Chain A
Amino acid sequence: MSATPYTFFIIEDDPIMAECIARACSRIVPPTSQSPDNPKTDSQSIISPAPKIQIFSDTVSAINALDDGLPDLILLDVLLNGPDGFTFLNEIISYPDSARIPVIIITSLNLSPRRLSHYGVRAILNKETMTPAEIQTVIQCAIGAREEP
């Protein structure tokens, strides 16, 4: 039995920071549905696949990659070379399908989550204070909220 893995986009221009974020995300697995008629036994393990994580150093390549398939969640830095994070947010809310993707901003800037909520921004993580556990919690909340009927 296996669930479909999550797909995450990380848009961050510092590759080492991006790797750290990816490491934190790599533990997030989708919940596996278990039928009461077919309960899990020791011999029948439930496979929770690791997420597919794509890292982009700029928003242009991330926008191009959206054509190949939409991710379950986007982690977005704001100050980037070329078009910045806000330009990216404007781009994705322009299309109904990409507008539904939850976005988590990762930045050192002091931004108000309320003002960005209509861009699909579910949370803002501060680069200077965030922890891997916090990254995981925020992602799980964002995905959970999206999956609720």
Chain B
Amino acid sequence: MRSEEVNGILVAAHDLKAPLAVMRQLALALDLADDQPTRQRIQSQLVSVSERAMHQVNDLAKIARLEDGLFEMEPISVRNLCDEVARELHPLFHYKNRRLDLSYSNRSRLAIANHDLLHSVVYNFCTNAIHYSNQDTASRLSVIDFQDKIRVSVRDFGPALPSKIWRQLRQGTFRTPTSIAMRPGSSGLGLYISSEFARHMRAQLGVIRHRDGTSFFIDLPVSTQTSLFI
């Protein structure tokens, strides 16, 4: 096995281990809960954290099946999909005292993508942003028209990405999960998953460096089919 593959497995294992440690603490904390509302809160936190972990495991399984033709491309309402992700992640943002603002200004409503894969990309962008915002700095999920594409981006307030990873993303050569020293809250696994899914959808994944954070985006081809879902 090549050393970069071993490193990739280590990074994935580390990323999957983190929610397990939190779930274990939550399970132990149930014993300390004096009242029903506290118990309910801990149970909801357990559900949220385990769902997030399951998402990551499912995404890794999807990568192995990308070439099997299981993920067909179709016209997708990007706004609906973003709403779906935001709804799904609302409890996790809430329990982590974070906020996700939505901002949609795209005129083209439909993109060509695979629903499952795009959902995972947006989900990964958003969960990554949880690490890099605080109560004062809300993350922002935006959908805009960008040239002849629809751009879905998530802005966070974390440290800048190292130049090497930024370059790899621009060149489409980000092929293994890589730990990102400047961003200890995330291992780069979500970014690796997103880049693989973007490649499969022939979409462009990219990063914009801001003075006080980073925006991760995916540019999707616009569908010319008239939307029935608007």
Contacts and interface: CB of A to CB of B under 8 A. Distances in A.
Interface residues of A, number: 23
B28 interface: yes
Interface stretch (B16-24, B68-76, B146-154): B16-24
Contacts of A132: 28-29, 31-32
A13 B134 CA distance: 10
Interface string B108-120: 0000000000000
B158 A24 contact: no
A15 B184 contact: no
Nearest to B134: A57
A133 B21 CA distance: 16
Given A57-B134, A81-B131, A81-B183, A15 B28 contact: no
B224 interface: no
Interface in B3-32: 17-18, 20-22, 24-26, 28-29, 31-32
B106 to A, nearest CB: 31
A81 B185 contact: yes
Interface in A27-44: 27
Q: Which of B17, B21, B24, B49 has the largest count of A CB atoms less than 10 A from its CB? A: B21
The number of chain B residues touching the other chain, given as a range, is 20 to 34
* Interface SS majority for chain A: loop
B21 A127 contact: yes
Contacts of A82: 159
Contacts of B97: 15
A128 interface: yes
Interface string A57-68: 100000000000
B95 A81 contact: no
Contact of B26 (A16, A27, A81, A108): A16
Contacts of A81: 131-132, 158-159, 183-185
A54 B29 CA distance: 19
A17 B158 contact: no
6 contacts: A13-B185, A16-B95, A17-B25, A19-B45, A108-B18, A132-B29
Interface of B: 17-18, 20-22, 24-26, 28-29, 31-33, 45, 49, 95-97, 131-132, 134, 158-159, 183-185
